[in-house]
Structure 1
Amino acid sequence: MPASRCSSLGQWLALSRARRLWAWLWWGVALLLVGCTQPAPTPTPLLTRTPTMTLTPAVGVSFATVAPPTVAVIQTTPTPLPTPTETPTPTPIAYQVVEGDTIWVIAAKSYRTVDEILALNPGVRPNLLQIGQMLLLPPPATPVFQGGGSTPVPIRVAVVSVTPYQTPLDGLWLLGEVVNEGEMPAQNLQLTLDLLDAVGDVQQTTTAWVVAPVLPPGQRAPFGVLLPRRPDGFAGTRISISGGDTVIDLGTRYLDLAVTVDEANLGENQARLAGVITNVGGASATQILLVGTFYDAQERVTGYYQHVWTDEMPASGQIPFSFDMTPPGGRAVSYQLAAYGLQAEP
């Protein structure tokens, strides 16, 4: 083999040996590094405190603790309403036939109609009335009011007097008078009368109506009730106002009536009055009721008279009147007259 060729071969072998040595050395170092390296431990997490967040309110906004809703107390038992005062039921009035009475005269002077009286007295024969006979008369009619409902106003009506008078047939008249002490008219005035014995026990109770259908402030009006028989042991009377209303709206009531007396004769047993009723208002009136009250020297009511005219009376019109009566309580020394009516329909 030529020398140059051998030299080249030797150089290549030497270079190859050196490269192999470096390759083996590099792999050895790599394996050493791999074998000595351990996985890094997992770091333990640290506990961190969550910072408290402070709310900063904006301008005009406030934060407040909302209270829980209040428990509502429900009343299962309703509070009872006040018991309404019942309007007194009109009670028929007893009337004793006197001399000169006919069914038509009684109807006229008691402000009733013949049919109304006969309806309450079905067994009565109009043409055969007897002195002392007892009849039932209906109470006065209630007017129509034009206004609406209103707040009730207490009445201020006082009893002036009540006097008993015995009749020749052993009956008993209870006559008296009331006065309106309030500032407004009163109507439908009803009284309860207790008849007492000597020790104050109630023997009998009866009802009376004030004759005037409406009583203006400051005015007086009579009442009376006739008992067919005087109670045994009767010693006195206890009286109270048991019904009535304050008049807020007169409605169809008509009070513009003036009474003028032209003749007055107060005799021993009989009283006679004559005069005229004048319509001083601006409307026509009807159902004109004239009430006359008679008094003794002690100003006690001895009797009263009433008469009604059903004809229409125009404004400025007049109705003449004249009547005689015998007061049950004896001779009268003074009297009072008043007229009431209803406004006629236009």
Structure 2
Amino acid sequence: MWFDNKDPEFLDASSETVPIPELDIVSHRIYRHPSGMIYLIGEVKNRHECNLSVEVNAYLLEGEQVRGFGWASTLIPILIPGQKSPFRVIFHNVKDSFNRYSIRVKFGVTKQNPFREIKILEHCFYVDDSGCFIVYGRLKNISQNRVDLVKVIGAFYEKDNNILALDIKPSKPESFEAYQEGDFRLTVPSRLLSAMVKSYSLDFWTPTGLSLFSIKW
């Protein structure tokens, strides 16, 4: 996450998305951090029959004038068919005002199959003494192979399943031997956002067995 126990400012800006049949932009939200940086978060869903690598391009606009540009890959770098992933685009040094933003996505097809033999065994949530929403859980490598650099990704939603916040953290341990178990902890470190959370979703990512340079754009 990114707010460091500081509440963001909700921005009143209209939005537009450029639809493509292979990907859904499920929901999105824009904030101003107390530092002045702009954060655009959202989720995309793979509607294609192939595995995809997805890039998000975003523009801050005042009328037809571009006030800022940012891009990011999805937090899960390769999406299998039907899979969702959050994204986060950060705009630095935005000095001019803007009244709308535009989101465009592009994708590359890959024949690589990401490792999916991690199972989230259980999870629960609570609100800590500072008012922050916490998710704690356990996961297990259900394969016979060693798995490295495991990260757990959480998307947090308000009413109507609109994305509100996200977090990505390494599991503990970060690498798993065959059939080993571990745990994870995700946080929404803003009291304002934590009070608005109605539901959340969890996924994981590991680059084990992949060469991410084979993407076909």
Question: Which category describes the TM-score, using the shorter chain as reference length?
Answer: 0.7 to 0.9
Bigger mean CA offset, 265-274 vs 285-294:
265-274
Structure 2 residue 185 is the aligned partner of structure 1 residue 319: no
Does the Cα contact within 8 Å between 1:261 and 1:273 map onto a contact in 2? no
Hey, what does 1:263 align to over in structure 2? 124
Letter in 2 for 1:260: L
Hey, what does 2:99 align to over in structure 1? 235
Structure 2 residue 162 is the aligned partner of structure 1 residue 300: yes
CA distance in 1, matches of 2:159, 2:176: 36
Cα deviation digits, residues 255-294 of structure 1 (max 9, x gap): 1111133321268952111111111233221111111111
Higher share in helix: 1
Does the Cα contact within 8 Å between 1:155 and 1:245 map onto a contact in 2? no
Letter in 1 for 2:4: V
Give matches, 1:103-122, under 5 Å. Answer: none
Higher share in strand: 2
Hey, what does 2:68 align to over in structure 1? 204
Structure 2 residue 138 is the aligned partner of structure 1 residue 272: no
Hey, what does 1:52 align to over in structure 2? none
Aligned pair partner of 1:337 in 186, 192, 202 = 202
SS of corresponding position for 2:203: strand
Give matches, 1:24-103, under 5 Å. Answer: 98=4
Aligned CA RMSD, in angstroms, stands at 3.0
Shift, 1:306, TM fit:
0.9
CA distance in 2, matches of 1:329, 1:211: 24
Aligned pair partner of 1:180 in 46, 49, 59 = 46
Question: TM-score under structure 1 normalisation?
Answer: 0.49
SS of corresponding position for 2:152: strand
Structure 2 residue 128 is the aligned partner of structure 1 residue 222: no
Letter in 2 for 1:316: Y
CA distance in 2, matches of 1:329, 1:201: 32
Do the aligned partners of residues 157 and 231 (structure 1) sit closer, same or farther apart at CA in structure 2, a change above 3 Å counting?
farther
Letter in 2 for 1:98: D
Do the aligned partners of residues 159 and 278 (structure 1) sit closer, same or farther apart at CA in structure 2, a change above 3 Å counting?
same
CA distance in 2, matches of 1:155, 1:327: 35
CA distance in 2, matches of 1:266, 1:230: 33
Letter in 1 for 2:35: L
Do the aligned partners of residues 96 and 305 (structure 1) sit closer, same or farther apart at CA in structure 2, a change above 3 Å counting?
closer
Letter in 2 for 1:159: I
SS of corresponding position for 1:298: helix
CA distance in 2, matches of 1:182, 1:328: 37
Question: TM-score under structure 2 normalisation?
Answer: 0.76
Structure 2 residue 123 is the aligned partner of structure 1 residue 286: no
SS of corresponding position for 1:205: strand
Does the Cα contact within 8 Å between 1:302 and 1:327 map onto a contact in 2? no
Letter in 2 for 1:292: G
The one of the two structures with greater contact order (alpha-carbon pairs below 8 A, sep at least 6) is 2
Do the aligned partners of residues 266 and 294 (structure 1) sit closer, same or farther apart at CA in structure 2, a change above 3 Å counting?
farther
Aligned pair partner of 1:167 in 11, 14, 33 = 33
Shift, 1:219, TM fit:
1.5
Structure 1 unaligned regions, length at least 5:
1-94, 100-153
After TM superposition, what 4+ stretches of structure 1 lie above 4 angstroms from structure 2? 266-269
CA distance in 1, matches of 2:91, 2:131: 22
Aligned residues: 193
Do the aligned partners of residues 329 and 212 (structure 1) sit closer, same or farther apart at CA in structure 2, a change above 3 Å counting?
farther
Do the aligned partners of residues 275 and 230 (structure 1) sit closer, same or farther apart at CA in structure 2, a change above 3 Å counting?
same
Shift, 1:196, TM fit:
1.2
Q: State which structure, 1 or 2, has the greater radius of gyration over its C-alpha atoms.
A: 1
Does the Cα contact within 8 Å between 1:304 and 1:327 map onto a contact in 2? no
Bigger mean CA offset, 162-171 vs 175-184:
162-171
SS of corresponding position for 2:183: strand
- Same amino acid, percent of matched pairs: 18
SS of corresponding position for 2:179: coil
Do the aligned partners of residues 96 and 277 (structure 1) sit closer, same or farther apart at CA in structure 2, a change above 3 Å counting?
closer
Letter in 1 for 2:41: L
